Amino acid sequence: MVSRQEVSAWRPRVPGVVEVFHARFTEHAYPMHVHEAWTLLIVDDGAVRYDLERHEHGTPHDTVTLLPPHVPHNGSAATPDGFRKRVVYLDTSRLDESLIGAAVDGPDLRDPVLRRRVGQLHGALAHPGDELEAESRLTLIGERLRGHLRPRRAEEPARDGPGVAHRLRELLDARLVEGVGLDEAARLVHAHPAHLVRAFSGTFGIAPHQYLMSRRVERARRLLLEGLRPAAVATATGFYDQAHLTRHFKRLVGVAPGRYRVSSRCAS
């Protein structure tokens, strides 16, 4: 078998995310090492075996692995063809150090919902301009991770859900072009980030990032009909660049902005 190494790494503009790391290895084996950050890992192909605190663990396809900071671990392929993994490294603003002991005791989490959400997070992290989506998904992931690692306790019922949701919608409307991060929004409307996402989705039937992107696309349509070129429209409506506009525009309208603009002229 030919040895293969494929690596992609970047640091997105998302609070609490130290690094995103995607890799495909056939033969590489990690020696014992430590990280300052939490390691949130999913394996898409193959499997990884590793030692943590003198206990051997593995990462089947449906598992989410959470390795705590400061605790030594290694890693190597557990299947003949190697493995392909996606990792998000998180600082302690996302998961505090009081959870380290629980993570050492149970680093491999069998949770299909969590696994799906982590995959969706990577999709958002891969696209500059989708930071609000990434923050929202990461907030719910953190909440679910804490639910696994902390003893279950009765939660107080969420209060003022509709009020919080309406205040966030007003904020998103006011900041349509410049946008707003989830942590800042939570401070401005006086709500916990996870409650903010749940309240908005429950009240309006759409996630905050979906609402923001749909409003931007709506404005982009009006500007395209006025004759502006897609590159100018992307800037005027708060998208990261023209490619970012095109991706969301095609998702919601069914065609690319340039084609939409041309077709509208032909119809006039």
Query: Has residue 23 been placed in a domain?
Result: yes
Amino acid code (one letter) for 234? A
101 and 170 share one domain: no
Going across the sheet that includes 73-77, the strands are 30-33, 73-77, 48-52, 55-58
- Residue 268 confidence (pLDDT): 40
Residue 34's domain comprises 5-110
Query: Has residue 82 been placed in a domain?
Result: yes
248 and 172 share one domain: no
The closest of 211, 212, 237, 213 to 223, measured between CA atoms, is 237
The upper half-sphere exposure of residue 116, i.e. CA atoms within 13 Å in the direction of its Cβ, equals 3
* CATH number of the domain encompassing residue 64: 2.60.120.10
How large is the average pLDDT for residues 186-206? 94
Residues ≥6 apart with Cβ < 8 Å to 55: none
Query: Has residue 115 been placed in a domain?
Result: no
CA atoms of 49 and 183, how far apart (whole Å): 36
* 8 A C-beta contact, residue 72 and residue 7: no
How large is the average pLDDT for residues 238-258? 96
178 and 248 share one domain: no
197 and 229 share one domain: no
Query: Has residue 9 been placed in a domain?
Result: yes
92 and 189 share one domain: no
- Residue 242 confidence (pLDDT): 97
Given 110, 145, 175, which residue is the final one in a domain?
A: 110
- In this model, does residue 220 exceed pLDDT 50? yes
Residues ≥6 apart with Cβ < 8 Å to 74: 29, 30, 31, 32, 33, 50, 51
Instruction: Give me the percent of the chain exceeding a pLDDT of 90.
Output: 81
179 and 228 share one domain: no
pLDDT, one tens digit per residue, over 140-170 is: 999 999 999 986 554 444 556 789 999 999 9
Please give the mean pLDDT across all residues of the chain. Answer: 91
Least confident of 27-41, 68-82, 153-167, 219-233: 153-167
Per the structure block, which two tokens stand in for 259?
A: 């084609």
CA atoms of 118 and 138, how far apart (whole Å): 8
CA atoms of 268 and 264, how far apart (whole Å): 6
Q: Structural domain tally of the chain? A: 3
